[in-house]
Structure 1
Amino acid sequence: MTVRNTLALLTAAFMCSCSGNSGSKSTSSDTLSGKQDAAMAAIQCFAYQAQKDSAFLHLEINSGIVSGKLSYALFEKDRNDGTIAGTMSGDTIFARYTFSSEGSQSVREVAFLKSGTDWVEGFGDAKDSAGVMVFTDRSGLDFEKGLHFKPVECPAAP
């Protein structure tokens, strides 16, 4: 799926989630449906910290669709800031990370495995596919040495 298609899918999902019946009376079934929607959407933040390295992950998961922000500040490496957009597959997130580094924009596939309350980033061999670095074999990803993102309070919106 191209970045353009992913963004179009996320935009459509956002627009559908924003449409509502403002000004109308809610029934008990509407209230129940609203509670189910709220339970299905989860916004959470996670951080990785080790010596001089840090990373931050802001996730919004809604009915298996994942979006959010991801940034890395790794010692003696260029800072990366960007967005993720992807899907949940069981207990694993597969997403495209669109980020800026050194003044240029890049896209690469990322994977995170749920481990208790944490998310662990997976790494593996990747290849360039139409300008996007993608994993060559998702089943062979290594989550043992990945960054462990622990839950943190989300920063207040500006």
Structure 2
Amino acid sequence: MKKPVVFCLLMACIGFQSCKNDEKQKELEAAKAEGEKIVKTECYKAIYEKDTITLDLYTLKNGKISGDMVMKVANAAERTGEVAGEFHGDTLFVDYTFVDTANKNTKFKNPMALLKRDNQLILGNGKMQTTMGVTYLVKDKPIDFENVKYKFNSIHCE
């Protein structure tokens, strides 16, 4: 007689615990969704010779940055993708995940550093390293923001 009672109590406790976990999960998802609300949109364009890059940045409530970038570089396939990252001081560090028109089945991912100066974003040149298939900017090497091709000017968002 004791075994069925203990079993029922154990099952009831498990049921209550799973309900608590569902509530916690819903609270976490709601907090995440709240943090991912867009609070600011900025649009930029960089032109260098025959190259054009457009960048739409969305500042999220949690302080992170997301956005869209299209790179049209002369003599290369057009690249379309998304950026995601955050500011560290006046420098925006993002990962650019993209596909190009020549190879639509493969996604590529590159790190980028953009210095915010007045109404401009300057795409820096830094030493990159790939470890276990992940490319990143080398931390101990400085990023050059002076001798660059691409300086993004603020434009009106469409």
- CA 1:46–1:12 in 2, change beyond 3 Å: closer, same or farther? farther
What code does the residue aligned with 1:84 have? V
Q: CA deviation at 1:80?
A: 1.1
Task: Work out whether residues 124 and 137 of structure 1, in 8 Å CA contact, stay in contact via their aligned partners in 2.
Answer: no
What code does the residue aligned with 2:34 have? C
For each residue in 1:106-147, what CA deviation from the matched residue of structure 2 results, as whole angstroms up to 9, or x when unmatched? 111111100110100111111113323211136500111231
What code does the residue aligned with 2:50 have? K
Normalising by structure 1, what TM-score? 0.70
Which residue in 1 is equivalent to 2:6?
none
Equivalent pairs counted in the alignment come to: 125
Which residue in 2 is equivalent to 1:114?
116
Which residue in 1 is equivalent to 2:142?
140
Secondary structure at the counterpart of residue 140 of structure 1: coil
- Where does structure 2 lack aligned partners over 5 or more consecutive residues? 1-28
Task: Give the counterpart of 2:54 among 56, 72, 83.
Answer: 56
CA RMSD between the two structures: 2.3
Distance 1:110 1:12 in 2: 30
> Any runs of at least 4 consecutive aligned residues in structure 1 with deviations exceeding 4 A, and if so which?
11-14
- Where does structure 1 lack aligned partners over 5 or more consecutive residues? 1-10, 20-37
Distance 2:138 2:69 in 1: 22
Normalising by structure 2, what TM-score? 0.70
Distance 1:139 1:128 in 2: 14
Q: CA deviation at 1:50?
A: 2.5
Distance 2:144 2:48 in 1: 19
What code does the residue aligned with 1:141 have? I
